Homo-oligomer: A and B are copies of this chain.
Amino acid sequence: MSNKPFVGGWEKNMDKNEIKNLIEKLSELDTDNMYLNDFFHTWKESDDELSATFAVADILRGMRENNISSKVFDSGLGISLFRDNSTRTRFSYASACNLLGLEVQDLDEGKSQIAHGETVRETANMISFMADVIGIRDDMYIGKGHTYMKEVAEAVEEGNKDGVLEQRPTLVNLQCDIDHPTQSMADMLHVIHELGGVENLKGKKIAMTWAYSPSYGKPLSVPQGIIGLFTRMGMDVVLAHPEGYNVMPEMEEIAAENAKKSGGSFTRVDSMEEAFVDADIVYPKSWAPFSVMEERTQLVEDGKFDELKDLEKKCLDQNAQFKDWECTEELMAKTKDGKALYMHCLPADITGVSCEEGEVAASVFDRYRVPLYKEASFKPYIIAAMIFLSKFEDPATKLQELLDSAEKRIK
């Protein structure tokens, strides 16, 4: 794998020439290993592969803005399996599939027989006879989500080799217990656009900090995804949380290693304020402690539902000790020129709006509303890019063909 500098710096509303230029840059990247492969964790992907994902996302967006169709599938299904509620990711996945020509078919476990003791392997094959892509969200239980996704991916790869499946469906991780790559990649593409190009990220400080929320059990995969990805860009990544709210230890190791390689840094501090000082970007967000998530997983597995309630109460009481972990105007004033880019995966717990006391002050949230929505708008394109790169051996040539034939999206 070659590892060229990240491609980036493109603008919204590209004209056809700019799209062409980006396709040329894409053609220099090594994406061989993405072809007929799954997207699990950003740290399993090379710099070229991440770069290609950003490039294809921006190319697809540029084409859509120019009313050029990127419908590469004439038929085919995009299976979705959400083991947790979801609006954003569900619609992002549906949008991505639709953009490329795949029809979403939802495996609703309530409706299906999956709950009746079927093995993962069998179900994975039974739903995949005409599936080109499978998107899974399974983020609630530590040690389960990623494991489940791997099982599904292996089952359909084997199914394809055994002649059961005519094609090899590729898997997109729509959030597991460890990483949330479609979120962190969309977040990163937003940052690249806001900062005017990937070359401007080096040396910038991002504060990924815990924040208070009156709810419990929020997955760890967002902070883990952020520290796992942003350390790739030569940035100074600071993780802040109260005592006991650690993320998975392996993830801190990966972040540290990434930072070392990329010429950036990874630090852990104990206060939101310390993290915010001179930060270019802040990402204050609640999550449950790793140890609580582990305990919870065990209790669910053991069917100990009374103990589960006790755990929830304990956890909420613990959270309540840290209500001062709120992204206020005072804290924002401490960031670089008082103007750090505020980020969130949404929905945020906004003080006085969606809850009494929450992650962020209403005035801060409101000031960043438009950038926050833009941040979210990259997700459908990131997912589409992941699908595209897993399905075309020579993505640049295919995209150039689409650009040249210029079929209209709206006639």
Closest B residue by C-beta to A79: B91
| A contact patch SS | mixed
In whole angstroms, what is the CA distance A36 to B313 when docked? Answer: 50
Q: A164–B103 contact, CB under 8 A? A: no
Q: How far is the CB of A204 from chain B (nearest CB, A)?
A: 23
Name the B residues within 8 Å of A82 (CB-CB): 111
Q: Which of A127-148 contact B (CB under 8 A)?
A: 127, 129-130, 132
**Within the complex, which residue of B92, B105, B111 is in contact with A129, where a contact is CB–CB below 8 Å?**
B92
Q: A118–B354 contact, CB under 8 A? A: yes
Q: B94–A77 contact, CB under 8 A? A: yes
Q: Which of A88-146 contact B (CB under 8 A)?
A: 88, 90-92, 94-95, 98-101, 103-105, 107, 111-114, 116-119, 122-123, 125-127, 129-130, 132
Q: B370–A162 contact, CB under 8 A? A: yes
Name the B residues within 8 Å of A374 (CB-CB): 162-164
In whole angstroms, what is the CA distance A182 to B408 when docked? Answer: 29
How many copies of the chain does the oligomer comprise? Answer: 3
Q: A122–B346 contact, CB under 8 A? A: yes
A347 contacts chain B at the CB level, 8 A cutoff: yes
Q: B72–A87 contact, CB under 8 A? A: no
Q: How far is the CB of A59 from chain B (nearest CB, A)?
A: 14
Say which one of A63-71, A244-252, A324-332 lies at the interface with B.
A63-71
Q: B159–A373 contact, CB under 8 A? A: yes
Name the B residues within 8 Å of A91 (CB-CB): 105, 107, 126-127, 129
Q: B130–A65 contact, CB under 8 A? A: no
In whole angstroms, what is the CA distance A346 to B114 when docked? Answer: 12
Closest B residue by C-beta to A88: B126
Name the B residues within 8 Å of A165 (CB-CB): 377
Q: A113–B92 contact, CB under 8 A? A: no
A contact set with B: CB distance below 8 Å: 12, 61, 64-65, 69-77, 82, 85-88, 90-92, 94-95, 98-101, 103-105, 107, 111-114, 116-119, 122-123, 125-127, 129-130, 132, 159, 162-166, 346-347, 353-355, 370, 373-374, 376-377, 379-380, 391, 398, 401-402, 407-411
Please name 6 pairs of A and B residues whose Cβ atoms are closer than 8 Å in the assembled complex, sorted by A. A71-B75, A73-B410, A87-B111, A87-B118, A122-B373, A132-B410
Additional A-B contacts beyond A76-B410, A86-B113, A130-B380 (11; CB < 8 A): A69-B75, A71-B74, A71-B75, A72-B411, A91-B107, A103-B104, A126-B346, A126-B373, A163-B374, A391-B410, A402-B411
